[in-house]
Chain A
């Protein structure tokens, strides 16, 4: 195997692993902050115990998201030195801003929040978790601004073999970035909401802490209605932005080979990349693809064949990932509406099948979000910066294949071990349920 492929495998592996933990961090922190706010405003102890219970799960999850993020920042220089040299002028600033503006806020106030139960006033303690929530969300914004520039570079000139900024605000406020951010962050909220609902469902099925978990489910359900609809709408807008800016990705997402005006959309497609066609196209909806991609029934959708072969992304994986993500996203809207309706009618405890399903639904938003990243990153290939730099030209020349093999084996071993432990601990503490009221009032937090 060559260094490019190995570097790509390592980046994909470390990024996808990182993103098992980050979405829950992003989503759950907002929910925990809402819970603690309810405690402060209502004075109801049940919200304090809820905050501490979900707060502990948040922390177990947070640790791994944090440390695996370090790998990604280092990796740009370690494995992608030619890329880093070429784009550092543009790609470095959002990363540095992310650390300065967001990571410090998040990490410092998380420390204060964990250990400060007895050192701060109730209000200041709740403010701390909101600052953590703000910090995590802002950090997502900056990293996605950076990623968006790789998807759709703007505000730059290339001089002396390097990209240079001409307009920072162009890159920071381009529609692609704002859509990628809102789509990703609301997807993370879905992860958080389904997590809270699923864990609550587990305990409701066992008649454990019914009052607490009904209230928690209620918070999760209300949040999930907002989040699932938002992720759906931003997804639609994001896809039409992709159609405008990354025609090869859109063509691969939909497995469109021939350029068509008023393109239909087929519910069932079996792509056949070898023969550059689809073996099966069934149940077509006329003009649907043109409408979805361009919001215009007669718009022209460019097919893959209108691009040189070596400028096309891998079709099958992009297509399947996109379809799965969209299918799951649609399912989430339905589940969220049902959850909210059952909760409103106070029928949750009677719908045991639904509660059981909610437990098994916990991993689904994770899957959707990982598939989303596969669409974004694999669909961008063969480019590392769309239209500007090929992935194959971006690796480090000074790093040998054997070095990458060693680090890849190291990461796989380390991440497998940590992933197993972390998920085991999450399940263990999720099952254990909240502490009793007497214990909660005595404790002040700590390792």
Chain B
């Protein structure tokens, strides 16, 4: 039971991470395209300013929780996926400092350089996280002798499709974020992008659900216990609701997009159970919530910590989002220009 609870928490931490940093990635990918000049670009970046840092901590927590609750999975996952993780780290480091560095030297070339960095290193981790999770859904080639995959073998068709799916989910999410958090032409352009991207996202989502049947064993859990079909059903309905809500309220579309990301991740998590990483060549070597976990003592202590602190974290993060709930306008930036960020 304890191990199953931790499996669910593990999934939840990744899902919340993607829901939050997802729009940071999306807005980062989009900003050179929906913002045509420096002021507009700063507008987009400043919508992320107060929150991106707190969003990224969900990744640190997901990593830390994997280490604490499933150390064997943590050890194998991170060393087997060494090179892609290195690129993700590289990207997150550069993206993080670029927000801080971009406005610190008054030069057009300097700002453009960091704009490109923000674009590229928002795109790359979005893609790589998708590729990594696609490969986890498929299972990694591991047995008694260890790991038999390479960087190239990770870039298999299903892995790449999942990568593209993640990128599109985040672009949609980021476009909706910018649409509701900015005003004027930037917001209008973001709305147009959200509307166009949605159709491509829908097609790729359908492809993903079909391909998953052939490339992975995720559906086995669903056929064994059909009540779980509710999770992918929520994913599909919320994906449709993004479009439906666009007519009335982009804020509601954004919430639908949040739910889409959460339920997409959980569609995978439910299908994986009890595996954290299945072995694609020998089931006996799959890493599960039971054979790769910490002892019950550690799991209990960590559960107490999570039950007490995560609700507190969620409460003050919601509060911080409320503090910055008002959409930004270009006038706000002029006001802030005095700070010379």
Binding site for B on A (CB under 8 A): 59-60, 63-64, 66-71, 73-74, 76-79, 81-82, 84-85, 87-93, 95-101, 103-105, 107-112, 114-116, 119-120, 162, 164-166, 168, 396-399, 403, 406-407, 410, 414, 418, 421-422, 425, 428-429, 435, 439-440, 442-447
Residue of B nearest to A432 (CB): B340
| Complex CA–CA separation, A425 to B99 (angstroms) | 14
Residue of B nearest to A56 (CB): B339
Q: Is the CB of A88 within 8 A of B72?
A: yes
| Complex CA–CA separation, A116 to B339 (angstroms) | 13
Q: Is the CB of A164 within 8 A of B295?
A: yes
| Complex CA–CA separation, A420 to B61 (angstroms) | 30
Partner pick for B82 among A78, A93, A166, A422, CB 8 A cutoff = A78
B163–chain A nearest beta-carbon distance, Å: 19
B71–chain A nearest beta-carbon distance, Å: 2
Task: Give residues 320-341 of B contacting A (CB, 8 Å).
Answer: 320, 323-324, 332-333, 335-339, 341
Max count, chain B CB within 10 A of own CB: residue among A76, A162, A446:
A446
Q: Given A70-B92, A82-B75, A446-B336: A95 and B85 within 8 A (CB)?
A: no
Judge if B249 is at the interface, Cβ distance under 8 Å.
no
Q: Is the CB of B68 within 8 A of A92?
A: yes
Find chain B residues with CB under 8 A from A403 CB: 82-83
Q: Is the CB of B294 within 8 A of A115?
A: no
| Complex CA–CA separation, A295 to B99 (angstroms) | 51
Q: Is the CB of B323 within 8 A of A112?
A: yes
Q: Is the CB of B333 within 8 A of A79?
A: no
| Complex CA–CA separation, A91 to B75 (angstroms) | 12
Max count, chain B CB within 10 A of own CB: residue among A119, A398, A440:
A398
| Complex CA–CA separation, A396 to B333 (angstroms) | 48
Q: Is the CB of A89 within 8 A of B54?
A: no
Partner pick for B335 among A109, A120, A443, CB 8 A cutoff = A443
Judge if B229 is at the interface, Cβ distance under 8 Å.
no
Find chain B residues with CB under 8 A from A120 CB: 323
Partner-contacting stretch, out of B169-177, B199-207, B297-305: B297-305
Judge if B180 is at the interface, Cβ distance under 8 Å.
no
Max count, chain A CB within 10 A of own CB: residue among B96, B306, B332:
B96
Q: Is the CB of B68 within 8 A of A447?
A: no
Q: Is the CB of A444 within 8 A of B57?
A: no
A57–chain B nearest beta-carbon distance, Å: 11
Q: 20 interchain pairs (CB within 8 A)?
A: A63-B96, A73-B63, A89-B295, A95-B68, A96-B65, A96-B305, A100-B309, A103-B60, A107-B53, A111-B54, A114-B49, A164-B294, A397-B146, A406-B86, A407-B82, A445-B336, A446-B339, A447-B42, A447-B49, A447-B103
Judge if B50 is at the interface, Cβ distance under 8 Å.
yes
Find chain B residues with CB under 8 A from A60 CB: 100, 104
| Chain B interface residue count, Cβ-Cβ cutoff 8 angstroms | 75
Q: Is the CB of A88 within 8 A of B103?
A: no
Q: Is the CB of A443 within 8 A of B336?
A: yes
Q: Is the CB of B79 within 8 A of A79?
A: yes
Find chain A residues with CB under 8 A from B298 CB: 89-90, 92-93, 164-165, 168
Q: Given A84-B75, A115-B324, A446-B341: A78 and B305 within 8 A (CB)?
A: no
Residue of A nearest to B78 (CB): A77
Partner pick for A107 among B57, B68, B102, CB 8 A cutoff = B57
Q: Is the CB of B67 within 8 A of A84?
A: yes
The DSSP consensus for interface residues of chain B is helix
Q: Is the CB of A74 within 8 A of B78?
A: yes
Q: Is the CB of A100 within 8 A of B306?
A: yes
Q: Given A88-B68, A96-B65: A108 and B316 within 8 A (CB)?
A: yes
| New A-B pairs, 4, CB < 8 Å, besides A88-B294, A446-B341 | A99-B63, A111-B49, A398-B76, A444-B332
| Complex CA–CA separation, A319 to B50 (angstroms) | 45
Q: Is the CB of B100 within 8 A of A63?
A: yes
Residue of B nearest to A110 (CB): B53
Q: Is the CB of A92 within 8 A of B67?
A: yes
Max count, chain B CB within 10 A of own CB: residue among A112, A168, A447:
A447
Q: Is the CB of A96 within 8 A of B68?
A: yes
Residue of A nearest to B102 (CB): A447
Judge if B90 is at the interface, Cβ distance under 8 Å.
yes
Find chain B residues with CB under 8 A from A103 CB: 57, 60-61
Judge if B45 is at the interface, Cβ distance under 8 Å.
yes
A49–chain B nearest beta-carbon distance, Å: 12
Partner pick for B93 among A71, A79, A111, A396, CB 8 A cutoff = A71
Task: Give residues 277-323 of B contacting A (CB, 8 Å).
Answer: 294-295, 297-298, 301-302, 305-306, 309-310, 313, 316-317, 320, 323
| Complex CA–CA separation, A162 to B291 (angstroms) | 13
Q: Is the CB of B60 within 8 A of A99?
A: yes
1/0 per residue, CB under 8 A from A, across B95-137: the answer is 0110111111100000000000000000000000000000000
Residue of A nearest to B67 (CB): A92
| Complex CA–CA separation, A168 to B305 (angstroms) | 12
Partner pick for A112 among B50, B59, B335, CB 8 A cutoff = B50
Residue of A nearest to B322 (CB): A119
Q: Is the CB of B50 within 8 A of A78?
A: no
Q: Is the CB of A81 within 8 A of B67?
A: no
Find chain A residues with CB under 8 A from B320 CB: 108-109, 111-112
Partner pick for B339 among A73, A76, A109, A444, CB 8 A cutoff = A444
A72–chain B nearest beta-carbon distance, Å: 10
Q: Is the CB of B97 within 8 A of A398?
A: no
Find chain A residues with CB under 8 A from B72 CB: 85, 88
| Complex CA–CA separation, A439 to B102 (angstroms) | 21
Q: Is the CB of A398 within 8 A of B71?
A: no
Q: Is the CB of B100 within 8 A of A92?
A: no
Q: Given A89-B295, A407-B82: A398 and B101 within 8 A (CB)?
A: no
Q: Is the CB of B313 within 8 A of A100?
A: yes
Find chain A residues with CB under 8 A from B301 CB: 93, 165, 168
Residue of B nearest to A52 (CB): B339
